[in-house]
Structure 1
Amino acid sequence: MKQDKQVIGWREQVGLPALGVDAVNCKIDTGAKTSALHAFYVEAFETDGKRMVRFGLHPNQNDTETVVECVAELFDVRTVSDSGGHREERYVILTPICIGNVTFDAEVTLTNRDTMVFRMLLGRRAMEKRFIVDPDASYLTGEPAE
Structure 2
Amino acid sequence: MTSNGANGDNLINPADAAEGTLIGWREWVSLPGLGIEYIKAKIDTGARTSALHTFELDVAHEAGVKIARFGVHPYQRDTETVTWCDAPVVDERSVRDSGGHREWRFVIETPVRMANREWPIEITLTARDTMLFRMLVGRTAMRSIRVDPLASFLTGRPPE
TM-score if structure 1 supplies the norm length? 0.94
Distance 1:87 1:145 in 2: 37
For the 8 Å contact 1:25–1:144, the answer to whether it is kept is: no
In structure 1, distance between residues paired with 2:26 and 2:70: 24
Q: List gaps (5 residues or longer) in structure 1.
A: none
Instruction: Give the Å deviation of 1:144.
Output: 4.0
Match of 2:8?
Answer: none
Tell me how far 1:145 sits from its aligned partner: 4.4
- What is aligned with 2:144? 130
After TM superposition, which residue ranges in structure 1, 4 or more long, deviate above 3 angstroms? none
Q: Cα offset for 1:4?
A: 3.9
Stretch deviating more after TM superposition (39-48 or 71-80): 39-48
Amino acid at match of 1:52: I
Q: Alignment length, in residue pairs? A: 145
Displacement of 1:49 in angstroms is 1.8
Cα pair 1:36 1:122 within 8 Å, conserved: yes
The higher-RCO structure (CA 8 Å, 6+ apart) is 1
**Unaligned residue ranges in structure 2 (runs of 5+):** 1-16
Identical pairs, percent: 54
The structure 1 residue matched to 2:67, chosen from 52, 61, 64, is 52
Is residue 96 of structure 1 aligned with residue 111 of structure 2? yes
Structure (1 or 2) with the larger CA radius of gyration: 2
Name the TM-score, length of structure 2 as normaliser. Answer: 0.86
